[in-house]
Amino acid sequence: MKKRFLILFFVVGLTIVLAASSAIAERLVVFGRPLDLYFYITQNLSYSLLDKDKYDTVKGFQGALNNLLVEAGYGATDQLKFYVSAGLTTDFMYKIREDGRAWNEKLFDQSSKNLYMDHKYWQILKEAHATWTPGNFFFRVGKQIVKWGETDGFRLMDQINPSDSRRGFADVEFETSVIPIWLFRAEYYLPQKPSWLQSLGFEFVFNPNADFIPNQGPRTGNDEGGIWAPNALARGPFPFGEARVGSTPMDIKEPGSFNSDGYEYAFRAKGVIKDAVITLNYFYGRDNDPVLLTAPIPPKITVASDGRLILHPFLEGKYPRLHFVGGTFAKDITPLRVDFLGGISPVIRLETFYAFNSTFVNNKNAYERYDEFRWAVGVDWGVRIPILNPTNSFSISPQFYQRTIIDYPEINELKGLKKNNYTTTLAISTKYFHQKLTPSVFWMYDITNKANMYRLQAIYDLNDSWQFVLGALWLHGEKFGKGFQLFDNKDYLFFKVRYKWG
């Protein structure tokens, strides 16, 4: 017990010592140029809201995620800058519950190899790049993030960098959820242009596939996916009428390091016309999610502590080609400002792409290829409701997303997808107490699968250094084995403390 909390106390103690130290708060000057150092440390605690004992969760505290991020930026000249960030993510719950009976019986302890401490080099070394901006050019080379698109909460155009969602949906930090990869990026901005064109730039991104890193999602099986392993069940002639889908050995073909098979090319023209931000996008590369087939080998079978069988099917697959053209549009629609709502106009955001020959898996366990079309629209609208908040407006942001498979097969359904698939989200937030308290509500509704995610959260910024977050997440789905139904038992309360320095 003592040992389990030692690490936590050390981290907290270190934070307090650093917070009290002013000596390390000075900006450094190296060879006459600024070296800026920043760091933050967060400690999160999550507590299950479920009062029943379920196999895919534990009652009480179920996560103690600690994130430490250190950043350094050096401006060698006005045009040449270097940036490095490194982080350490540790879930101390693996130590705290190490000897817990339920934790071990349900095999959560075995996921420690994946989820106790992120130890791969690309998880520790976040970004490392040099940026050079001579004249109207921009060059950036190194491990970096390139984000496209206008939508929040789901990724449409944003396909260059993989993401890490192994630890759930709610309390994610940007620095831990987007994975920087080795890229070369070049941009050029036209200095002379017609007067109707306010800005125009061209961006080219090349991924040499130095290290293929796909999306990191929650794995099935408590022994692999930990507390976020989806509750995937297979109905059939099993004891209790159903068996769990557990951890799955996988053989997924990846393009080799620096192999041209893994090269990616992305091109974007971005401009401002009549105060609207418009982009045209082209991408040719690999999907960061694999397409998986069940291998023609009988699954391994084990038995869960609740008596149900656990199936461990062998999966094989690949990261298919992703090839699309698309565009985005965003504009402040000032004619729509309405006085009685506070006189604030909405900003509309549109995003769309058309993908060629995307690969899917049908319900006969075979690949099929179809074009697909995705689009999303979002609105950000500030509304003043003085009776609820006399100082700040409420930010209301609905979004709608559709994914359509062109020439959807008539006979064999595609796994996990209908011909048209719809999702909508709504986010509402405001600020109180002189911008220090930010309560918010976020709702995502997977229309196709009739599944909901709700998140309530309040962020309190005591000052520039200390931040506290309290929130809760609920997940629910009506269709068996689809959407958020797989996470029905994952409702939880979370509390986070964050200390920032720099």
Partner 1 sequence: MKKVKSFVIGVLVLFLALLMVKPMVWAGEEYKVTLEEWAKNKKFFDDPRPFLKELHPKKILPPDVYAKLTYDVEAMKNLWAKVVGFRAPEVVGKIAPEIKPGHYTYKDKEKYPGFKELMTPEYYKRFNPGAPPFAGNFSEIRIVPTRQYYYALPVAEATQKNEGSSKLDDNGILKQGTYVAGFPFPRPSGKLMANQLIYNYLYRYFNYESTCYALSHSEGFSKSLRRDRHTEGDNYSLRLQGRVTMEPYGWFDERAKKKGEDKSYLVTYTAPRDYVGNVVSWSIYLDPDKFNSLLFYVSALRRVRIMTATDLQQPGGTGDIIFADPEMYGQQLSTKIYPYKCEVISEREYLVPIVTDGSEYFSSEGAEMRNFQFERRPVYVVKMTQLDKNFVYSFRILYIDKETFLIHAIENYDQKGRLYRSAYTLYSFVDEMGMPISSILNLIDHLDMHSTLTLMFYTPAPWIGRKHTELQGLFAKGK
Site for partner 1, residues 22 to 81, rule: CB under 8 A: 27, 29, 33-34, 36, 38-40, 73, 76-80
Residue 83 or 103: the one with the smaller Cβ distance to partner 1 is: 83
Least distance from partner 1 to the Cβ atom of residue 295, Å: 27
Beta 291-294 vs 315-318: how paired, if at all? Answer: antiparallel
Q: Which of residues 214-233 bind partner 1 (CB under 8 A)?
A: none
Q: Which two tokens stand for residue 145?
A: 């993030």
Binding flag, residue 389, partner 1 (CB under 8 A): no
Contact present, 290 and 319 (Cβ < 8 Å): yes
Q: Which of residues 129-168 bind partner 1 (CB under 8 A)?
A: 130, 132-136, 138, 141-142, 145-150, 152
- Can you tell me the distance from the alpha carbon of 324 to that of 281, in angstroms, rounded to the nearest whole number? 8
Residue 310 or 330: the one with the smaller Cβ distance to partner 1 is: 330
Over the Cα atoms of the chain, what is R_g? 24
Question: Residues 420-449 vs partner 1: string with x where CB under 8 A?
Answer: -------------xxx--------------
Binding flag, residue 20, partner 1 (CB under 8 A): no
Helix (H) or strand (E) holding 232: none
- One-character DSSP codes across 363-422: TTS-EEEEEEEEEEEEEEEEE--TTT-SSSPEEEEEEEEEEEETT--SSSPBTTB-SEEE
Least distance from partner 1 to the Cβ atom of residue 448, Å: 26
Residue 106 or 331: the one with the smaller Cβ distance to partner 1 is: 331
- Can you tell me the distance from the alpha carbon of 321 to that of 263, in angstroms, rounded to the nearest whole number? 11
Residue 80 or 447: the one with the smaller Cβ distance to partner 1 is: 80
Residue 398 or 502: the one with the smaller Cβ distance to partner 1 is: 502
Binding test (CB under 8 A) with partner 1, winner from 86, 186, 210, 291: 210
Three-state SS for 95? helix
Residue 96 or 277: the one with the smaller Cβ distance to partner 1 is: 277
Binding test (CB under 8 A) with partner 1, winner from 362, 389, 392, 440: 392
Per the listing, tokens 């979370």 go with 494
Q: φ, ψ for residue 359 (rounded to 5)?
A: -100, 135
Binding flag, residue 317, partner 1 (CB under 8 A): no
Q: Which of residues 453-482 bind partner 1 (CB under 8 A)?
A: 462-465
- Can you tell me the distance from the alpha carbon of 73 to that of 37, in angstroms, rounded to the nearest whole number? 7
Least distance from partner 1 to the Cβ atom of residue 344, Å: 5
Q: Which of residues 262-291 bind partner 1 (CB under 8 A)?
A: 270-272, 275-277
Per the listing, tokens 């270190």 go with 14
Q: Which two tokens stand for residue 166?
A: 């192994």
The residues that bridge with 68 in the sheet, in sequence order, are 41, 88
Residue 14 or 303: the one with the smaller Cβ distance to partner 1 is: 14
Binding flag, residue 21, partner 1 (CB under 8 A): no
Helix (H) or strand (E) holding 115: helix 112-115
Residue 51 or 340: the one with the smaller Cβ distance to partner 1 is: 340
Contact present, 392 and 434 (Cβ < 8 Å): no
Binding flag, residue 363, partner 1 (CB under 8 A): no
Question: How many residues interact with partner 1 (rule CB under 8 A)?
Answer: 85
Least distance from partner 1 to the Cβ atom of residue 500, Å: 4
- DSSP for residue 42: E
- Can you tell me the distance from the alpha carbon of 359 to that of 413, in angstroms, rounded to the nearest whole number? 13
- One-character DSSP codes across 239-264: GGGEEEE----EEEE-PPTT-GGG-E
Binding flag, residue 205, partner 1 (CB under 8 A): no
Select from 56-64, 300-308, 340-348, 480-488 the region that touches partner 1 (CB under 8 A).
340-348
Select from 184-192, 223-231, 284-292, 446-454 the region that touches partner 1 (CB under 8 A).
184-192
Which residues 6+ apart lie within 8 Å of 194 measured at CB?
none
Select from 98-106, 230-238, 241-249, 335-343 the region that touches partner 1 (CB under 8 A).
335-343
Binding flag, residue 391, partner 1 (CB under 8 A): yes
